[in-house]
Chain A
Amino acid sequence: MSVGPYNYSYIFKYIIIGDMGVGKSCLLHQFTEKKFMSDCPHTIGVEFGTRIIEVSGQKIKLQIWDTAGQERFRAVTRSYYRGAAGALMVYDITRRSTYNHLSSWLTDTRNLTNPSTVIFLIGNKCDLNAARDVTYEEAKQFADENGLMFVEASAKSGENVEEAFLETAKKIYQSIQDGRLDLNAAESGVQHKPSQPGGRNTLVNDQTASKDSCSC
């Protein structure tokens, strides 16, 4: 019998960022498990999820890092931006403050990732239209002004969740095809060979980090 190649040929690293409670973990869970978690605890750290997807006939493994949104962890979570090929920046359409903080998240992303990192803005909880606090139009304008991709999504209904993750991958793949993304760059966030997740010893990017363990 003949079977095509199942191997994934790329690994893309994603990070999900945004204020606490905007639904980052729920989006990841919906994407990897197709389920909604109604009472999801705050993320205290960085969660990890993976899924293999297909873009233009290529199998791609997404390694997704879901970060803690709480302000007090901000300094620590900054260490995780490095080497991300995609950044999903999430706000909650029912809480204006989470939208207002976007510029600060965007600044971090721009400073801590590389220019080819694809930034995708997600207005989450669009199932709660009645409680809407941020209009689609203004968010769309913000996205356009800053050159971000944008959808409103719902981790609850699943609406646009696949799309956000897949569109990001398509854009990254496009960059590879166009040669805009240098696969050999240490921090491109893309690996062209399958490998196991993890393997990090410090938050610093693999290649540069020393493997010193805690000696305190």
Chain B
Amino acid sequence: MSTSQDLPGIIQAKLSSGEAAITVHEASLMQGWVRASRILALVEHENECALFIFISSRMPPEVFTDLAIERVIPVDADFKCEIDAGEQSVDVYVNISSRKLKLLFEMIPGLKTNNFVSEIMRSMEALSKRRGPPPEFQWLHKYSGSSNRNSADCVASSLDTSDDDAFKASKTEAEKMLDILDSPDIVVPRQSIAQGATPIAARESVIRHQMSMKEDDYTFTQTLRMFIGTWNVNGLPPSSSLTPWLASDLEPPDIYAIGFQELDLSKEAFLFNDTPREEEWRKAVMAGLHPGGKYRQVALVRLVGMMLILLVEEKHVKHVRNAAFETVGTGIMGKMGNKGGVAIRVEIHNTSICFVNSHLAAHVEEYERRNQDYHDICSRLSFSKFAPVKCIKDHDQIYWLGDLNYRITEVEINTVRDLINQNYFPALIQYDQLHRQRSQNNVFEGYHEGAITFKPTYKYDPGTDDWDSSEKNRAPAWCDRVLWRGDGIEQKEYRSHPILKTSDHKPVSALFDSQVRVIDVVKYRKVHEEVMKKLDKLENEFLPQVTVDNTEIIFDIVRYLEPQSQELIIANTGQVPVQFEFIKKLDDSKCCKEWLNIDPPVSFIMPGEKCDVKLEVFVDKKSAFKLNSGVDKLYDILVLHLEGGKDIFITVTGNYERSCFGSSLEALVHVSVPVREIPIGKLVELETTKEAPGGMEPYPIPKEIWFLVDHLYRHGLKKQNLFLLPGLHSELLAIRNWLDNGSSEPLPGSLHSIAEALLLLLDSTSEPIVPFNLQSVCLGASSNYLQCKQIVVQLPEYRKNVFLYLCFFLQELLSHANENGLDAKTLATVFGGIFLRDSPRPSARANSTVDRKKANFVYHFLVNDLSDYVVSKALHLGPSS
């Protein structure tokens, strides 16, 4: 993945005016097991942020029209972003979630990812610090087709419809896709993979994501009865049994969360957070619990006057894990604990639950401070022992209780009392500050509260059921409340307990039937096993797969210098793009023998597509000798390797038709018949032993050379540009056949073809006429004829013969220079390269000084009298035997 320079610009072009892309990043979205490229952008509009997810028709996108908005997620109170970096994983996994939507992105670690995630975190922080009404995300309505839910609905739905329905109604394409991917018979759409999605390895984060998506399959719900109680005790010690409050129901609850406020109003408690009341009230609670259950205290937390006790019925205790508590003071200087909140969180079975007890700012007119206290508690209270830290909102269920201190205002106190006396609470609730603030979305967003059917719980003359009769004559208020948030929670009771008269407040309790998710261990194992199995299966399915039309390529007869080719069709029959390569075998330096050429040797095939590979056999001087001498055969096994997958062996075979080309001079002088007429294997034997079959007297020079030279001598002395113009390929092949097969017909081909055939023949022998090991001596001697002569005299017999024979012939040619226009320098250059052929080592590079020295060497023998050399009679040119 490469980030295009102008990516932010392209994204910006896709947005409407007033919307600014704060940060842009490429990431892979995990769709089931498959990752797909996406572009993420954090977009801001008038202090509201949203995460945009784009699909691009190409990566990286080049113009904004390449982009389509897949989804828009508002950064609201439900938005979560968590980093999940496994210890060993190479990639960073970022979980983005909003309500039930859970997306997992894989990002490449590094500065860019860090910056991107910190920007998101910053926008979430800004949200939590935000004053005034929560964002409405009006500007996202135009994207609502792609937004998972529009924000206005979101608020409405959280109040009256279940979140589930709202969620299902707006399932996006991507979610449907996820559903498909998660169905048991997973078929990964070829297209999505072709578009750059690739399978992934077993990574913990991905498996965790998969398991959390499948939670329903291995959990069942169990209903727990929750008793949530709150009482502002006005600094007084317990004066009567709490049974009427805590044990007023028939059935014993499973869990008690009991909160107190103003436990102790003394200076000591305020300054040193130390009070005997804690133990007094705790004992009172323990004594007042429902006699039908046995309860164990799981946690107790207190900050000055705010105390919260969590009690769990004994039979459930073993399913309670990871208990933790925290406090936040919002009093004077934003930290003293006379106001604020305390919280306990636990996991019961597979459900995380947070209980918050808060005492918000007092005074009738201070509702905005109360709102702010609420927001401060939300943003400042975090359970730091977890990594990443957990906040209140990071829980499946939240119960918020306490003296929230909201009052009934903007109505005559007498009207209030009248309405209370008539028990006409629906009318009165309209004047409740909390009700108003909640409907304006200023506080407790996403929380529910049951209908209030009890009298205001404040303010009474202590010890009585009479409204405050003090000078202040305060209006009654529903200060003490219980709210909740989360799924599977049903309120059964919401009431006050006026019978308890210790305080100027009455205690309140709420009873819930709450569903917690219980892991069915057997099913869990099964689902987990399935996930692992699917992973195995996918990994095997995602292995590259191809078929080849033929694994045995047979070339019939292969002749010297005659190329032949066959096609191999490689079809990608798998699910993923395939990169193939013909790889070399152990100890080999190349992927195939030198007589074979593979085109292309490496390539890429998309699923469903094919690639034609051309296999060409071409035997030239490099390989001919090995084939003639039996060192090598036309047989090779090619290893076709699929990147990340299997290997396929392709066998290539052919019959090489042996030829005088590519033989050694020493072998050829021992062959009196055309090469093709000697039995198979004989040439091989000759090449290894260099001895005549049946004791035949060897020729002084190979007869093939003689045939060619003799023809030129008879017919070509006057030919212009002989050895300088090329022959025809077809004639060369005909000449080769004539030499190898023997014929009573005259030698075919033009003089130029015959001349070239001679050069090719000399050039194809296993060793040049001057052996490789003498080359440097020759080059050193090239300026001195006598030294050169010395070397030639000492050449092996047949080499010397051929050398001199050709020099005689060339001198003869030069004697006709008038007619044929040849000159000694040119011929010396042509033949110098052949007599003193370089060894095939790749290091030997063409070099003009060397070439000049080779020419010099030969030149001496073209211009000096050669009659003093002792040579066989048969070497004389002209008509002979």
Residues of chain A whose beta carbon lies under 8 Å from any beta carbon of chain B:
1-3, 5-8, 32-33, 44-52, 59, 61, 68, 72-73, 75-76, 78-79, 82, 193-204, 212-216
Contact = CB atoms under 8 A, between A and B. Distances in A.
A45 B641 CA distance: 9
Interface string B593-607: 110111001100000
Given A73-B637, A196-B644, A201-B583, A216 B598 contact: yes
Nearest to B648: A45
A214 B543 contact: no
Contacts of A212: 584
Interface in B610-668: 637, 639-641, 643-649, 651
Contacts of B389: none
Given A72-B651, A73-B649, A198 B535 contact: no
Contact of A214 (B215, B591, B645): B591
B208 interface: yes
A25 B611 CA distance: 27
Nearest to A28: B540
Given A76-B639, A216-B601, A44 B202 contact: no
A7 B590 contact: no
Contacts of B637: 72-73, 75-76
A203 B592 contact: no
A7 B86 contact: yes
Q: Considering residues A1, A61, A200, which has the most beta carbons from chain B within 10 angstroms of its beta carbon? A: A1
Contacts of A196: 201, 644
B214 to A, nearest CB: 11
Nearest to B552: A44
Nearest to A213: B602
A131 to B, nearest CB: 30
Nearest to A68: B649
Nearest to B586: A79
B215 A203 contact: no
B161 interface: no
B314 to A, nearest CB: 23
Given A7-B203, A52-B202, A214 B584 contact: yes
Nearest to B640: A45
A49 B540 contact: yes
B740 to A, nearest CB: 27
Contacts of B640: 45
Interface in B19-37: none
A44 B592 contact: no
A212 B539 CA distance: 28
B324 to A, nearest CB: 14
Interface residues of B, number: 52
Given A48-B543, A48-B646, A214-B602, A5 B590 contact: no
B583 A216 contact: no
Contact of B639 (A32, A45, A72, A82): A45
Interface in B193-217: 201-204, 207-208, 211-212, 215
Contacts of B543: 48-50, 197
B536 interface: yes
A203 B644 CA distance: 13
B88 interface: yes
A82 B585 CA distance: 13
B204 A79 contact: no
A3 B347 CA distance: 14
A10 to B, nearest CB: 12
A198 B198 CA distance: 15
Contacts of B591: 213-214, 216
Contacts of A201: 581, 583, 641
A78 B532 contact: no
B738 to A, nearest CB: 32
Interface in B390-408: none
A48 B202 contact: no
B566 interface: no
Given A79-B586, A199-B644, A3 B601 contact: no
Contacts of B601: 213-216
A66 to B, nearest CB: 8
Contact of A215 (B86, B347, B590): B590
Interface in B328-343: none
A214 B648 contact: no
A153 to B, nearest CB: 20
A194 B206 CA distance: 14
B525 to A, nearest CB: 11
B644 A216 contact: no
Given A6-B207, A7-B204, A46-B646, A203 B350 contact: no
26 contacts: A1-B347, A1-B519, A3-B207, A6-B532, A7-B89, A8-B202, A44-B551, A44-B648, A44-B649, A45-B639, A45-B640, A49-B543, A50-B539, A52-B202, A73-B649, A197-B539, A203-B647, A213-B583, A213-B601, A214-B581, A214-B584, A214-B591, A214-B598, A215-B590, A216-B596, A216-B597
